[in-house]
Structure 1
Amino acid sequence: MQVTTTFRHMEQSDALKSYAEEKLERVTKYIDGPITAQVFFTVEKKIRHIAEIVINAKGVSSKASEATNDMYAAIDAVIDKMERQLKRYKEKIKTHKPATDERGRQLTKKVFQAESIEASGEPVVIKAKTETAKPMSVEEAVMQMDLLNKDFIVFTDSTNSEINVLYRRKDGNFGLIEPQRA
């Protein structure tokens, strides 16, 4: 496991770093492949200690954070939270039938400059990124949204190969945007 640690508003501590790495070994039994973990230690107003962990592995991304008045307690709490998330994910994967070996569709995500859209001219692209809309079921998309703490996810429906958008509504429920067949 490759672990990167970042200290924000506090001095670097080898003891905290090694404690977090030791605790991260608990979650390796839930995910396969090469694992990269980013650990962020933050202190706010000298009393609020925040530990945040982002894990990326083969096909799985997960993020969790916890805040307490002690950094070691925050690490323990965030590891417990991460372990619960990954355990739930692994159980769902066991019951799910694997998708066929089809590739996802390529999508281009663009960020436009706001002033250029308001003007009558052509919109100016600030950033463009190509991503793959992975084939998955709606249940898998909900699971990925929860693991990544995202508000929406674009995916290819594994049953009909159409691009769908799943989003979290303000009332806590989920909305699904599907294309209509003509």
Structure 2
Amino acid sequence: MRYTISGKNIEITNALREVATNKLSKLEKYFSEDTEVQVTLSVLKKNHIIEVTLPLKGTIIRAEEEAENMYAAIDLVIDVLERQLLRHKKKLINRHRHHGTFRTAFAQVDYEDDEGLAIVRSKKFPIKPMDAEEACMEMELLGHSFFVFRDRDTEELAVVYKRKDGQFGLISPE
């Protein structure tokens, strides 16, 4: 795996870079050598935050954790990523769409940081037909607060989102 480690409000020392790389190397068994891993380390007040983005074929695994020191945050994010990858692996196996090895299900996805005046980042992705429950699972897997999908029954676009009370909401056209 190739690592791109960047920092916000923190200087990335060689020791910090080495610890992050060594800990993330535990996940190499799931990926090919050309997989690009985006790691962002940041400090906000007294919180140390790490965000890791792993592009996969058809989806993106993303985890963000914060702790009182960066080394603890790195350990926490590794645990979250391992759980997400195992959940994703089970999902692939259960759907019988898994062809070849688990490693072949992953592919390099271009990662861009678009800096515009109004739109900070833009993404294009295929919208797959699924039911609301699958969309909620995908949203949780990505670590997002909403997810756009095509309803399998109506073939209309719909959005699931996570409410402040922890429940899920569904937005669909009339």
- Name structure 2 gaps, 5 residues minimum: 98-117
Amino acid at match of 2:72: A
Q: Give the number of aligned pairs.
A: 153
CA contact (8 A) 1:166 1:175 kept: yes
Q: Is residue 130 of structure 2 the alignment partner of residue 136 of structure 1?
A: yes
Q: Is the 8 A contact 1:156 1:163 kept in 2?
A: yes
Which one has a larger percent strand, Structure 1 or Structure 2? 1
TM-score normalized by the length of structure 1: 0.68
Provide the residue aligned with 1:123 in structure 2.
none
> Which is worse superposed, 82-91 or 153-162?
153-162
User: Does the 8 Å CA contact 1:31/1:86 hold for their aligned counterparts?
Assistant: no
Alpha-carbon contact 1:49-1:74 (below 8 Å) kept: yes
| Cα root mean square deviation, aligned | 2.9
C-alpha spacing 1:48/1:168, structure 2 compared with 1 (3 Å): closer
Check 1:18–1:37 CA distance in 2 against 1; reply closer, same or farther (3 A cut): same
**Following the alignment from structure 2 to structure 1, what is the Cα–Cα distance between the partners of residues 72 and 141?**
22
- The 5 Å alignment of 1:22-171 reads 22-30=22-30, 34-45=34-45, 47-98=46-97, 131-158=125-152, 161-171=155-165
How far residue 22 of structure 1 moved from its aligned partner, in angstroms, is 1.9
Shift of residue 5 of structure 1? 0.7
Residues 36-86 of structure 1, C-alpha deviation per residue, up to 9 Å, x if partnerless? Answer: 2211112233x4322221221222312222222322222111111111122
Q: Tell me whether 1:11 sits opposite 2:7 in the alignment.
A: no
How many Å separate the matches in 1 of 2:130 and 2:3? 29
Conserved? CA contact 2:2–2:33, under 8 Å? no
1:19 Cα shift?
1.9
| SS of residue paired to 1:15 | helix
The structure-2 alpha-carbon separation of the partners of 1:3 and 1:90, relative to structure 1 and needing over 3 Å to count, comes to same
Measured at CA, do residues 151 and 71 of structure 1 come closer, stay the same or move farther in structure 2, by a change above 3 Å? closer
Taking a change above 3 Å as real, the CA distance of residues 10 and 170 of structure 1, as seen in their structure-2 partners, is closer
Give the structure-2-normalised TM-score: 0.71
Contact 1:135 1:157 in 2 (8 A): yes
Q: Which has the larger radius of gyration?
A: 1
Letter in 1 for 2:39: V
Q: Which has the higher contact order (CA 8 A, sep 6+)?
A: 2
